[in-house]
């Protein structure tokens, strides 16, 4: 590693330690990797930018087919998946919460969003979920519907008289068996990373319960014991003139949930932060940013304006990243890489994820230019939804039976 690269890594590590400016840290380090790739100085991928306009064409065509008015594109967030199968589960939840006040309404929505997002790591190709009406779902939609129905059943609440919440006591005692039951996991219906998901929710419960910052974000409120949803009150109190920055929401998410992430390396911050053997520390915060996007809507529905959405980055996961591989923008140095399984912390996966984030910014710029819209009118959150994630899923289905992503990654349920 050169002195400049080492300094960049140390600077990023310092940024992450304070959590302030987390989104800027992600984008800056991914741009460093992109610069290295442009110069041909990364080991595992070759960058073919001549193939990028075709990706922009694909995304623009998807937007035109789905959203003739681009201003109607919603944010890329967990709330989209709650509508799987054409069922308006958000309206159903509103009806169930109709007797509560505004604070409880916001808290319950945040309870649901957080638990569902944290259970949203890739399900694997062998898992499906049958909902209460007999409909079957797979992958992200299946995970969303399963977590939604667990939430309505009171699985995350310690009070049977107040089922629609996620509190410290219930989460801290949630085991893999209970999660397997809720997600209909069997030997014939396996879910990738089941133990890791359950452990993540237990650590969440412990974090909410303990004094390691839990009282700041989740502490006792007039609606009962410490719970995830009190984060909504914290963000409301942090607002200035009725608005809050999306980057500030991300910083709060990282500050609030930092202790739940596994520590994979004592020299790194916990969570989705990795050390490349040559390029140094690279943060991604995929689930934290997915969670931030998923909190923006409940906050806006509660009357807050969420500003500066484009300070967040794209999501370094297998649909967005798969889009660039399948479209020929990212070509593996070894063709055999696409037939192998890779560790999340491998140099190959770190490079792929970093390049995905940098390329998503460039696709967003291209889409805006084609549609003659500004970043304010078409923020990255809408491009992702309109968008790159769907394009990644569509091209995967074109190329492989079952729509599996082009790269196989060994997941513990806490990253993707």
Answer whether residue 38 shows pLDDT above 70. Answer: yes
Q: For residues 139 and 129, what is the distance between their CA atoms, to the nearest angstrom?
A: 9
User: Which has more pLDDT, 192 or 210?
Assistant: 192
Number of other residues whose CB lies within 10 A of the CB of residue 334: 11
pLDDT in tens, 253-266: 998 888 888 887 87
Which phi and psi (to 5°) does residue 71 adopt?
-70, -15
Most confident range, picked from 42-51, 116-125, 226-235, 288-297: 42-51
Model pTM greater than 0.75? yes
Band (pLDDT 50/70/90 cuts) for residue 162 is very high
pLDDT computed for residue 71 by the predictor: 85
pLDDT computed for residue 241 by the predictor: 92
Band (pLDDT 50/70/90 cuts) for residue 209 is confident
pLDDT computed for residue 379 by the predictor: 95
pLDDT computed for residue 414 by the predictor: 72
Token duo for residue 359: 């390329």
Three-state DSSP at 224 gives strand
Band (pLDDT 50/70/90 cuts) for residue 325 is very high
Across residues 14-27, what is the average pLDDT?
64
Answer whether residue 3 shows pLDDT above 80. Answer: no
- Average pLDDT value over all residues in the chain: 89
pLDDT computed for residue 270 by the predictor: 79
Asked if 289 and 25 touch (Cβ cutoff 8 Å), the reply is no
Three-state DSSP at 88 gives coil
Q: What are the extents of the domains in the chain? A: 1-76+311-416
DSSP-derived secondary structure for 20-76: TTHHHHHHHHHHHHHHHHHTT--SSEEE-GGGHHHHHHHHHHHHHHH-SSGGGPPPS
Band (pLDDT 50/70/90 cuts) for residue 220 is low
The proportion of the chain whose per-residue pLDDT surpasses 90, expressed as a percent, equals: 75
Q: For residues 320 and 387, what is the distance between their CA atoms, to the nearest angstrom?
A: 9
pLDDT computed for residue 215 by the predictor: 63
pLDDT computed for residue 210 by the predictor: 78
Band (pLDDT 50/70/90 cuts) for residue 400 is very high
Answer whether residue 9 shows pLDDT above 80. Answer: no
pLDDT computed for residue 121 by the predictor: 78
pLDDT computed for residue 262 by the predictor: 80
Asked if 363 and 59 touch (Cβ cutoff 8 Å), the reply is yes
pLDDT computed for residue 218 by the predictor: 83
Q: For residues 50 and 38, what is the distance between their CA atoms, to the nearest angstrom?
A: 12
* Angle separating helix axes 22-38 and 286-301, nearest 10 degrees: 130
Asked if 252 and 291 touch (Cβ cutoff 8 Å), the reply is no
């Amino acid at each position: 590693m050169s002195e400049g690269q080492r300094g960049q890594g140390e600077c990023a590590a310092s940024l992450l330690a304070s959590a302030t400016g987390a989104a800027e840290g992600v984008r800056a380090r991914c741009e460093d990797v992109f610069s290295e790739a442009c110069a041909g100085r990364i080991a595992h991928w070759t960058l073919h930018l001549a193939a990028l306009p075709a990706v922009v064409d694909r995304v623009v065509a998807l937007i035109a087919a789905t959203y003739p008015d681009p201003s109607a594109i919603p944010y890329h967030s967990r709330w989209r998946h709650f509508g799987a199968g054409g069922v308006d589960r958000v309206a159903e939840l509103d009806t169930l919460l109709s007797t509560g006040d505004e604070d409880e309404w916001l808290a319950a929505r945040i309870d649901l969003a957080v638990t569902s997002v944290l259970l949203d790591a890739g399900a694997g190709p062998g898992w499906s979920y049958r909902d209460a009406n007999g409909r079957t779902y797979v992958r992200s939609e299946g995970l969303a519907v399963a977590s939604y129905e667990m939430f309505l059943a009171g699985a995350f609440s310690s009070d049977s008289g107040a089922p629609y919440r996620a509190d410290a006591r219930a989460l801290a005692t949630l085991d893999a068996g209970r999660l397997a039951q809720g997600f209909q996991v069997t030997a014939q219906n396996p879910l990738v990373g089941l133990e890791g998901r359950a452990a993540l929710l237990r650590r969440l419960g412990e974090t909410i319960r303990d004094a390691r910052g839990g009282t700041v974000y989740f502490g006792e409120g007039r609606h009962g014991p410490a719970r995830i949803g009190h984060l909504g009150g914290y963000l409301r109190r942090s607002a200035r003139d009725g608005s809050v920055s999306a980057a500030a929401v991300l910083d709060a998410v990282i500050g609030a949930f930092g202790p739940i992430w596994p520590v994979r390396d004592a020299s790194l911050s916990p969570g989705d932060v990795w050390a490349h053997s040559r390029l140094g520390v690279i943060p991604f915060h995929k689930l934290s940013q997915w969670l931030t996007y998923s909190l923006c809507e409940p906050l806006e529905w509660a009357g807050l304006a969420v500003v500066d959405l484009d300070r967040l980055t794209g999501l370094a996961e297998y649909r967005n990243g798969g889009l660039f591989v399948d479209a020929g923008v990212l070509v593996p140095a070894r063709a055999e890489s696409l037939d192998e399984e890779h560790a999340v912390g491998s140099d190959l996966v770190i490079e792929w994820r970093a390049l995905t984030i940098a390329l998503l910014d460039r696709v967003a710029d291209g889409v805006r230019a084609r549609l003659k819209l500004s970043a304010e009118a078409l923020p990255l959150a809408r491009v992702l939804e309109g968008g790159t994630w769907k394009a990644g899923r569509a091209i995967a289905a074109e190329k492989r039976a079952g729509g599996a992503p082009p790269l196989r990654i060994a997941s513990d349920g806490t990253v993707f």
